[in-house]
Chain A
Amino acid sequence: MRELLKARHIADELIGYFLRHGICDIKLQLKLCEIDTRVIVEGVCLEKVKDLDKAVRLMNLERRPEIEEEYENLLGSSIGDNALGLLGSMVDKATYRYEGNKLILEVVRYN
């Protein structure tokens, strides 16, 4: 149940990121397995997202278990990119790629 909620919050934040950058045609894929949780968000974007590298760098910050229990509810609630560091402290890996005019962002959280 806990992992479900965390996955939901992570998905929320990623969708927020896409929406803030004007990507409105979005597909969400959520995979909850025994060993990991994967959230994959893809969206159609006509031009490349400017600060994506910085955002993914924040998402790849070292995982901090002491933060997530208290602050996970902040994910998805921010109007800016302030919570991306928090997202980084809750996931183990974040990657992105462009396929044509589609941006695919994937984050993995090992259980």
Chain B
Amino acid sequence: MPDTLRERWRKSPPEGEIPNSKRLKFLTIVCIGLILTGLLVDSPMTILRGLWKIQTSRANLLTDYVALGSPGAAFANSGLTTLLSLFVIWRSKVKISGPVMASVFAVAGFAFFGKNIYNSIPIILGVFLYSQLAGIPFRNVVLSATFGTCLGPAVSQITFAYGFPLYISIPAGYLLGIFIGVIMQPLASRFVSFHNGFCLYNIGFTSGIIGMFVASFMRMFGLQVETVRILSYGNNTFMGLTLLVFFSYLFLFGYWFNDKSMKNYSELLRNSGQSVTDFISLYGYGISLVNMAFVGMISTVFVLLLGAHINGPIIGAIMMVTGFGAFGKHPKNILPIIFGIYLASLLNIYDPLATGSVISAIFGTALAPVAGQYGMFAGVLAGFAHMSIVMNIGYLHGGMNLYNNGFSAGFVAGAFVPVIDVWTNEIRGKIRERIIKSETHRG
């Protein structure tokens, strides 16, 4: 069929919608803003030196690029890596929808602790190769390419951790990255059934399984894969302010794009958020930006109120959650999860102020659809369970899967949802029976 005819048949975007070129421009400005923020805090030379350290690091959890390079280098790395993702998105001609927005923010966030240009490229190439092998357009799998870079540390690990000569370690790392990219999409489309869309980080869950295989194979041949702890401290004023200013701008832009109103927001808050919930196509681009700003602000204020240190991983977590404000998360469905995880961190053996605990509380909102669908109590329970799993699961992939919380949330959702489902259906059934009985009695 001729392309023009096919295009004419396709549904056209609703009237008054923000054009895709504007959306892309907005995200490009965010990337440039990140690079400029870097230049504001460090000299170009310090940034270049820091960027070199970042590209050549092992990059697995938790490697805070603020501590490893410098604050400026971490911001620049985030801006540059996100620009790479935006280039891929632009080339694939895909529209900036909710999931695409979430993937862009995920890259921006994780480029503060684990993602970089060096370790992202092979995975993107791998997904592209898969699309060619499977005979499907690249735009159909672009989300696997952008989200999938969470296994970047596997590439960095092979290249830089074992002291192999670079002429061996670079091709070996890249081959592994390409292989991961090739298998990412088919596995992701299968694993989504396990948690039924109740874990918003499906690629995180998939990557956890892939990372587990990779780490096990490496360990089998004597290559140790361990988590690390390189963290920065004492940047709360600068980081907190930067985030709050950014979210204020996000809110203002969103409000302006939404005809200077909050229309559709009450509807958005009623959505359970279960995958696939694209807030941008359901409620509009502007109000989705507003929601992203709220979700980001809540996470930032939560960290500041706790008194935890805002470092690379925490910025990453906040950015990721912000992105998912366009793809399933909103204040109503994330707060019960955060509360459940915080409650667990108060009662368990882990320090509630430790970076690991704080990022678990923020990333754990991957389980937001549980609270959205089954209510606050179920959300708190799911959050509580998430804390127990996430603290024990990192060993399986040795910190090579940056979306460790997605891996954990996948298991929690997969185990919780069928049980809650049966339970709530049973209760609903009994209530319905009672209503019918009382109506018959009255009649």
Contact = CB atoms under 8 A, between A and B. Distances in A.
Contact of A74 (B95, B99, B140, B197): B197
Contacts of A65: 94, 137, 139-140
Interface in A2-51: 2, 34-35
Interface in B70-106: 92, 94-95, 97, 99-100
Contacts of A67: 97, 99, 143, 276, 278
B247 to A, nearest CB: 26
Interface in A78-95: 78-80, 82-83, 85-86, 89, 92-93
A111 to B, nearest CB: 8
B196 A70 contact: no
A89 to B, nearest CB: 7
Contact of A82 (B141, B197, B281): B197
B188 interface: yes
Contacts of B141: 66, 69-70
A62 to B, nearest CB: 5
B196 A77 contact: yes
B192 A74 contact: yes
Contacts of B190: 73
In the complex, which of the residues B99, B136, B276, B282 has the most CB atoms of chain A within 10 Å of its own CB atom?
Answer: B276
Given A2-B136, A62-B281, A70 B10 contact: no
A71 interface: yes
Given A2-B136, A73-B193, A78-B274, A66 B185 contact: no
In the complex, which of the residues B95, B100, B197, B421 has the most CB atoms of chain A within 10 Å of its own CB atom?
Answer: B197
A34 B193 CA distance: 29
Nearest to B424: A79
A80 B421 CA distance: 11
A22 to B, nearest CB: 12
Interface in B125-153: 136-137, 139-144
A71 B10 contact: no
B136 A69 contact: yes
A68 B188 CA distance: 12
A69 B185 CA distance: 8
B6 A110 contact: yes
A90 B225 CA distance: 41
B275 A71 contact: yes
Nearest to A68: B140
Interface string B179-215: 0000001001110110011000011000000000000
Contacts of A86: 275-276
A89 B99 CA distance: 12
Given A61-B282, A62-B11, A70-B185, A82 B1 contact: no
Interface residues of B, number: 43
B63 interface: no
A64 B196 contact: no
Interface residues of A, number: 31
Contact of B9 (A2, A79, A82, A92): A92
A93 B11 CA distance: 7
A13 B197 CA distance: 15
A84 B20 CA distance: 24
Given A64-B95, A73-B190, A85 B9 contact: no
B272 interface: yes
A63 B137 CA distance: 14
Contacts of A89: 276, 278, 281
Contacts of B95: 62, 64
A60 B282 CA distance: 11
Contact of A85 (B193, B196, B278): B278
A106 interface: no
B13 interface: yes
B277 A66 contact: no
Contacts of A70: 141, 143-144, 185, 188-189, 192, 202-203
Contacts of A85: 276-278, 281-282
A80 B417 CA distance: 13
A68 B14 CA distance: 20
Interface string B1-16: 1000010011111100
A78 B276 contact: no
A63 B10 contact: yes
Contacts of A66: 92, 94, 97, 99-100, 139-143
Contact of A92 (B11, B192, B276): B11
Contacts of B12: 62
Interface of B: 1, 6, 9-14, 92, 94-95, 97, 99-100, 136-137, 139-144, 185, 188-190, 192-193, 196-197, 202-203, 272, 274-278, 281-282, 373, 421, 425
13 contacts: A35-B1, A65-B94, A66-B94, A66-B97, A66-B100, A66-B139, A67-B143, A71-B189, A80-B373, A82-B272, A83-B197, A92-B10, A93-B9
Given A62-B12, A70-B203, A74-B275, 7 more contacts: A72-B189, A74-B193, A82-B373, A83-B197, A85-B276, A85-B281, A92-B11
